């Protein structure tokens, strides 16, 4: 090597080395070595998906307390995006690159949406109690976005509320108890989620927009996604469903199913179809998502393209493990090979006795590639 320049390393070797680096700072440094290395590697995707980790471990039904944005990689480095609004220490939503923040975890009186890049704040009426907030679109780029809030009902159920910009207060969206909502998928003017009985609920958000009409959207229950999934299992013994999540991906609605035990496929992806008698059929199993990967398991679910987000792997399911499981931080399921990669729980958080747990996915929709950000990576 003494007789050769570092710039003469083969491009595939440089790319292989960069793929084994754990921090954005290291990735930026290797990108800056020389033009050849820069052409052989990708600039760190600073708008990569992050994990919102929270200290509270109270069944996920109330806003978390102290929270931290961390990269879903080994080491889980903390990322700083600026100071949140003063007086709003509790996070109760992570949709569309925004954080929904409340002033109290049990009896909130103020609610604000905060976009870290532009430091934009949007005040919303505050329902109390409050569990989670979801948004149908980015408020900075859409005038027709809708917020959906969940409230505790009984021991494990929740009701859902709806708010449109300009509304004086929230409207009841679906009063029947829903399961602890981790997922609401928005697609073509409809919201899709799974209720307490594991039924899919479809809410038409386009109804009720006329001020003279009932402001509540029309909601339809489709029976029963988990029973359909169990019937698809051809094993000698029954494998329970660990979780089911709906995700909008490239203009289609997909159902991600996670199984327990030694099932041949720990994760399966299907295209659901609704029958005339209000049942769900899972006809086509999806084996290849193309350049996309799906992010499920907590808060906002979404699909990202590996071409736009080079820090992620294509055709994978990124899953936030259950809060009670502190052995692993993130599980990555490779659909093509059926392999599973488990990212250990960060030692830094494990040593903290206040029970940091993965709460939700969070993804900025714009790149953080300013000079200030690149300077922070070099430190």
- Picking from 253, 243, 199, the residue whose alpha carbon sits closest to that of residue 222 is 199
Lowest mean pLDDT among 1-5, 202-206, 238-242: 1-5
- Picking from 293, 288, 323, 297, the residue whose alpha carbon sits closest to that of residue 309 is 293
316 φ, ψ (degrees, to nearest 5)? -130, 160
How far apart are the C-alpha atoms of 242 and 57, rounded to whole Å? 20
CA within 13 Å, CB half, 144: 7
Q: Which residues contact 232 (CB under 8 A, 6 or more apart)?
A: 268, 282
Q: Is 374 helix (H, G, I), strand (E, B) or coil?
A: helix
How far apart are the C-alpha atoms of 71 and 228, rounded to whole Å? 35
Same-domain pairing of 153 and 209: yes
Strands 292-296 and 316-320: parallel
Same-domain pairing of 116 and 252: yes
Same-domain pairing of 137 and 8: no
Q: Which whole number is the average pLDDT over 337-366?
A: 74
How far apart are the C-alpha atoms of 330 and 328, rounded to whole Å? 6
**What is the number of structural domains in the chain?**
2
Two structure tokens written together for 155: 């021991």
Supply the pLDDT for residue 220: 85
- Picking from 97, 101, 131, 125, the residue whose alpha carbon sits closest to that of residue 113 is 101
Lowest mean pLDDT among 156-165, 197-206, 210-219: 210-219
Q: Is 205 helix (H, G, I), strand (E, B) or coil?
A: coil
Report pLDDT digits (tens) over 36-63.
887 777 655 445 678 887 765 444 434 5
Same-domain pairing of 223 and 307: yes
Report pLDDT digits (tens) over 265-282.
889 999 998 887 878 888
Same-domain pairing of 320 and 370: yes
Which CATH number belongs to the domain containing residue 327 in this structure?
Answer: 2.120.10.30
Supply the pLDDT for residue 207: 72
Same-domain pairing of 49 and 39: no
Same-domain pairing of 126 and 93: yes
Same-domain pairing of 124 and 36: no
Which residues is 246 bridged to in the sheet?
255
Same-domain pairing of 127 and 19: no
Two structure tokens written together for 221: 């229950």
Cβ contact 168:123 at 8 Å: no
Domain of residue 261 covers 45-378
How far apart are the C-alpha atoms of 377 and 44, rounded to whole Å? 10
Q: Which of 10-24, 49-63, 85-99, 361-375 has the largest mean confidence?
A: 85-99
Same-domain pairing of 256 and 119: yes
Same-domain pairing of 76 and 218: yes
How far apart are the C-alpha atoms of 41 and 28, rounded to whole Å? 9
Same-domain pairing of 104 and 233: yes
């Amino acid at each position: 090597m003494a007789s050769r320049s570092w710039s003469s390393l083969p491009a595939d070797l440089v790319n292989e080395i960069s793929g084994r680096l754990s921090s954005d700072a290291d990735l930026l440094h290797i990108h800056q070595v020389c033009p050849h290395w820069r052409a052989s590697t990708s600039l760190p995707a600073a708008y990569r998906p992050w994990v919102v980790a929270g200290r509270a471990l109270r069944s996920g039904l109330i806003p978390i307390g102290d929270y931290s944005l961390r990269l879903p990689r080994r080491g889980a480095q903390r990322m700083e995006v600026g100071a949140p609004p003063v007086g709003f220490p509790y996070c109760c939503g992570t949709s569309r690159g925004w954080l929904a923040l409340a002033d109290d975890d049990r009896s909130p009186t103020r609610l604000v949406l905060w976009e870290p890049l532009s430091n934009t704040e949007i005040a919303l009426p505050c329902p109390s109690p409050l569990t989670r907030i979801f948004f149908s679109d980015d408020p900075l780029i859409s005038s027709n976005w809708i917020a959906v809030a969940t409230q505790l009902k009984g021991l494990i159920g929740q009701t859902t509320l709806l708010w449109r910009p300009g509304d004086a207060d929230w409207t009841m969206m679906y009063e029947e108890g829903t399961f602890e909502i981790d997922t609401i998928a928005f697609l073509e003017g409809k919201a899709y989620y799974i209720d307490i009985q594991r039924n899919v609920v479809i809410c038409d958000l386009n109804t009720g927009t006329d001020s003279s009409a009932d402001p509540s959207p029309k909601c339809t229950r489709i029976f029963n996604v988990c029973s359909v999934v169990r019937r698809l299992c051809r094993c000698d013994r029954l494998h329970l469903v660990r979780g089911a999540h709906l995700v909008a991906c490239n203009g289609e609605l997909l159902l991600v199913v996670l199984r327990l035990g030694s099932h041949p496929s720990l994760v399966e992806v299907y295209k659901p179809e609704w029958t005339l008698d209000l049942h769900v059929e899972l006809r086509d199993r999806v084996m290849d998502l193309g350049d996309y990967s799906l992010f499920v398991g907590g808060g906002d679910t979404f699909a990202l393209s590996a071409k736009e987000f080079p820090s992620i792997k294509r055709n994978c399911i990124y899953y936030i493990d259950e809060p009670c499981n502190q052995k692993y931080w993130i599980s990555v399921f490779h659909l093509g090979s059926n392999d599973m990669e488990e990212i250990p729980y960060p030692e830094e958080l494990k040593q903290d006795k206040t029970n940091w747990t993965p709460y939700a996915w969070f993804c900025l929709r714009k790149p953080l590639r300013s000079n200030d950000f690149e300077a922070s990576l070099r430190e």
